[in-house]
Amino acid sequence: MRTYSGVRRHGRLQVLVDGLPLDARRELAEYSADGFDWGAHTKGTKQLALAILADYFERLADGEARLWADDRLSFANQKALAACEEFAVEMIEPIDTDRWVLFDLHIANWIEGEAVQVCDVGRVQGTGARI
């Protein structure tokens, strides 16, 4: 299971995937030169949505042995680009906390059309997950 997490502290943002910095994937599209954002309708939210989806779809494509490596990557990137606007609006913009966690299962559920909310880290550690 892959874990995506974000922290906003003193005006600085950090987004990780499994504890490592998430690549912004500007080679696919540069929506924001200023980096990631969440909780508002900004170019940074779309960049974050693209980065998360590109990582997610690449991991799925890695399991598709019947496709050539270049085809897997191209297919994954196309899917990420096609879905990033909607993912940004439905999943990234509504994040209303400075610390959040998103699991690959949440992304799979979102793709299937299920209602999903990103976890507020404070609620996960405290009074129960908000999912």
> Which range of residues forms the domain containing residue 104?
3-125
pLDDT in tens, 85-128: 999 999 999 999 999 999 999 999 998 887 666 776 554 443 33
User: How many domains, in total, are found in the chain?
Assistant: 1
Is it the case that residue 31 has pLDDT exceeding 70?
yes
Is residue 39 in a domain? yes
Is residue 107 in a domain? yes
With a threshold of 0.85, does the pTM exceed it?
A: no
Is residue 73 in a domain? yes
Give 101's strand partners. 5, 119
Is residue 91 in a domain? yes
Average pLDDT over residues 6-28: 94
Is residue 130 in a domain? no
* CA distance linking residue 114 with residue 51, whole number of Å: 21
DSSP annotation of 18: T
Taking each helix axis from N to C terminus, what angle separates 43-62 and 104-111, rounded to the nearest 10 degrees? 100
* CA distance linking residue 21 with residue 82, whole number of Å: 23
